[in-house]
Amino acid sequence: MTEQKPRAVCVGEVLIELARGADGRFALSCGGDTFNTAVYLARAGVDVAFATALGDDPYSDSIMALAAAEGVSGHLILRVPGRLPGLRLIENDPTGERNIRSWREGAPANELFEFADWMRVAEALMSARLIYFSGITLSLYSNNGVGRFLALLEAARKQDAKVAFDGNFRPRGWKGDLARTRIVFIEALKHVDIALPTFDDEAVLWGDPSPEATVARLQAFGIGEIVVKNGPNSALVATSGGQEFVPVPEVMVPIDATAAGDGFNAGYLAARLGGSDPTAAASAAHRLAGDVIRHPGAFVPRANAAMH
């Protein structure tokens, strides 16, 4: 008898991307932090849907086609007539780090929880086993949208869903308003079971001096499972059973750091859904992230995709 695949819902945005190649030309693709994670979860065999809103234009159609090709369910992607998805230009510096310029104002993803059929997403969250979102997700929504979303998370947890969150702090998305960012994050953290922060982000937003300080701050919210990503350094895994640094198996110079954290999160969550303990899951996450940074762009070509 085959085991039923777990049901996960990733919530956020997916943008049209123009990435400049080494020849100076721009190539068209699409991506977004929680969408990237959804793709890697699907590749790991997780039954996953992506919740967002798009337009009815050919570029939105191409995003739907990519989701379908990757096995990510699009039934929670609301289509809004006459609207267009967000756009971003990506240029990499010599170290592989990205410089990004985004045009997101007016993108329908920002109003996911304010459209007339937002209850379609609400109902799906109630039956999910895992809900995953990020700080970028939160930056999209108005206070009303954030309020609805967080209320849904709490209701879903009462139905035994686990909620996973990556702080993924991008100051530009919050228009530099650190006070509002912190208020929204504090409210969100009250509804989280698994935190997957990146230490550099936490240091900027909260002034954390160390990964251990990040763990202590998140544990104060009652979060029982925390994995602090720290670039090429060990990830710090903290549960009720204690804390452990899980080393990166092989430190390498990244060809392109795009989606490294998104891949890590997918590797971790897929392993946990598959029954691995947090330490083993963090090792699997390191392996997938290492694969991602060896290739340009967010997605490892499918022939090379590591199926952990």
Domains of the chain: 7-302 (3.40.1190.20)
Asked if residue 3 has pLDDT above 60, the reply is no
The more confidently predicted of residues 293 and 111 is: 111
Comparing CA positions, the residue from 237, 242, 229 lying closest to residue 276 is 237
Instruction: Please write the tens of the pLDDT for every residue from 182-226.
Output: 999 999 999 999 999 999 999 999 999 999 999 999 999 999 999
User: Please, which pLDDT band fits residue 19 given cuts at 50, 70 and 90?
Assistant: confident
Give the tokens for residue 249: 């198996």
Residue 177 identity (one-letter amino acid): D
Residues catalogued as catalytic: 262
pLDDT at 252: 64
pLDDT at 249: 78
Distance CA(177)–CA(126), nearest Å, equals 32
What mean pLDDT comes out for the span 225-254?
Answer: 85
Comparing CA positions, the residue from 276, 266, 203, 278 lying closest to residue 239 is 278
Between 81-90, 105-114, 140-149, 299-308, the lowest mean confidence (pLDDT) is in 299-308
Asked if residue 271 has pLDDT above 80, the reply is yes
User: Please, which pLDDT band fits residue 164 given cuts at 50, 70 and 90?
Assistant: very high
User: Please, which pLDDT band fits residue 1 given cuts at 50, 70 and 90?
Assistant: very low
Q: What is the mean pLDDT of the chain?
A: 88
Q: Are 270 and 46 in contact (CB under 8 A)?
A: yes
pLDDT at 307: 40
Distances (CA, A) of 169 to 92, 138, 204, 222: 19, 10, 8, 21
pLDDT at 256: 59
45 φ, ψ (degrees, to nearest 5): 95, 10
Give the tokens for residue 182: 């912190």
The half-sphere exposure of 105 on its side-chain side, counting CA atoms within 13 A, is: 4
Q: What percent of the chain has pLDDT over 70?
A: 87
Instruction: Report the alpha-carbon angle 297-72-70, nearest 5.
Output: 50
Distance CA(139)–CA(86), nearest Å, equals 14
DSSP assignment letter at 198: B
DSSP assignment letter at 151: H
